[in-house]
Amino acid sequence: MELFYHPLSRYSQKVLIALYEKQANFYPRVIELSDPFSRQQFKHHYPPGKLPLLKNSLGELLPESTIIIEYIDHEFSTGTQLIPQTFERALDVRLFDRLIDNDLNNKLYLIEKMQARAEQNPIKLKQLEKEILATLSSLNDKLAQNHWICGDSFTLADCALIPCLIDAKSGFKLYEFDAIDRYLYQAETRGAWTQVKEEVDLQKAAVLAGFRPIP
């Protein structure tokens, strides 16, 4: 299996957490989408040009972080079971995975995009922040009842949530949400995340140093 990804992409981090949880072997293929040549090469291989992308041992391409995780959870019986066996619990996990991607990850991205472009739109920014705070509040309520987001065990929904909360820490006062604060501490010491974090930190250091890979 090959995983095409970038360490600073939250959707890639979501899949990396899942692969480490499953103890699944894969060839890492880092794609630098900000580099026009690498982007063009990747698009030649996969026209939508989105990361992450999994190439399985049959050479089939699987896009979409959730689908990739569903696939590896089905393929590998090792490690953590990321989709629960019972229908009701699986439905809850899939629901929270969707809510986290749509209401947290994508909205954080919209704010980051505005900041990167120095876009002056305080009304839009306030609205997005309000929506994110509402999502954080409902996640906090759920975490007050559960050890991980959907119960006692670590699931697909945690793979989606951890990268978002780690990034949201810089813009939102997450410590004001007691259950999220406790969850973050627990997530930050989870082996799969510490493995991902090593690569994220190296990449951030490379970006700060002005490093650009030679295509």
Nearer to ligand GSH, 23 or 34 (CB): 34
Residues contacting residue 75 through CB under 8 Å, at least 6 positions apart: 24, 56
Residues 134-173 that bind ligand GSH (CB under 6 A): none
- Shortest distance, position 133 Cβ to ligand GSH, whole Å: 22
- Shortest distance, position 106 Cβ to ligand GSH, whole Å: 8
The arrangement of strands across the sheet holding 27-30 comes to 27-30, 2-5, 53-55, 61-63
Nearer to ligand GSH, 33 or 90 (CB): 33
- Shortest distance, position 48 Cβ to ligand GSH, whole Å: 8
- Shortest distance, position 42 Cβ to ligand GSH, whole Å: 9
Residues contacting residue 136 through CB under 8 Å, at least 6 positions apart: 104, 168, 172, 174, 177, 180
Q: From residue 80 to residue 99, what is the string marking binding to ligand GSH with x (rule CB under 6 A)?
A: --------------------
Which residue is it, tokens 């697909």?
A: 156
Nearer to ligand GSH, 11 or 177 (CB): 11
Nearer to ligand GSH, 105 or 140 (CB): 105
Q: Are 135 and 111 in contact (CB under 8 A)?
A: no
Sign of CA dihedral 159, 162, 164, 166: negative
Q: From residue 31 to residue 70, what is the string marking binding to ligand GSH with x (rule CB under 6 A)?
A: --x---------------xxxx-----------xxx----
Q: Please report, as ranges, the residues that interact with ligand GSH according to CB under 6 A.
A: 9-11, 33, 49-52, 64-66
